[in-house]
Amino acid sequence: AQSVTQLDSQVPVFEEAPVELRCNYSSSVSVYLFWYVQYPNQGLQLLLKYLSGSTLVKGINGFEAEFNKSQTSFHLRKPSVHISDTAEYFCAVSEGGATNKLIFGTGTLLAVQP
């Protein structure tokens, strides 16, 4: 069965600094990988996804993530964060197929400080 681990429950960072949010997954088959963002009191919005091909994927709001199959990781990065990036970030994995079930990590709160 697939699973997702987000080791950091909270990442504090100063505005304009770079940030990396870590995600590791476990699956016995090929997977699709996603990062979602949840702003306070809102639903989840897709940031980016990895399906196949180039291991570096770019998403919205200046975020990017790199798929590393040997390390089973899909870390999210941004070179310079803004106050408005403060939100909960969720890594998720799907094995596709008939059910396309999306399994989420426990989330990482990115807290950007001025």
Partner 1 sequence: DTAVSQTPKYLVTQMGNDKSIKCEQNLGHDTMYWYKQDSKKFLKIMFSYNNKELIINETVPNRFSPKSPDKAHLNLHINSLELGDSAVYFCASSQGGDYGYTFGSGTRLTVV
SS3 107: coil
Q: Torsions phi, psi of 110, nearest 5?
A: -90, 115
Nearest approach in angstroms of CB 112 to partner 1 is: 18
Burial per residue of 81-97, b for 16 or more beta-carbon CB atoms within 10 angstroms, e otherwise = beeebbbbbbbbbbbee
Segment near partner 1 (CB under 8 A); pick from 21-29, 55-63, 70-78, 87-95: 87-95
Nearer to partner 1, 34 or 67 (CB): 34
The single residue among 25, 63, 90, 91 that binds partner 1, judged by CB under 8 A, is 90
Q: Tell whether residue 13 is a contact of partner 1 (CB under 8 A).
A: no
Q: 94-113: which residues touch partner 1 (CB under 8 A)?
A: 94-104, 106-107
Which is closer to partner 1, CB of 19 or CB of 34?
A: 34
Pick the closest to residue 21 from 61, 60, 55, 66 (CA basis): 66
Q: Up-side HSE of residue 101: CA atoms within 13 Å toward CB? A: 7
Residue 7 binds partner 1 (CB under 8 A): no
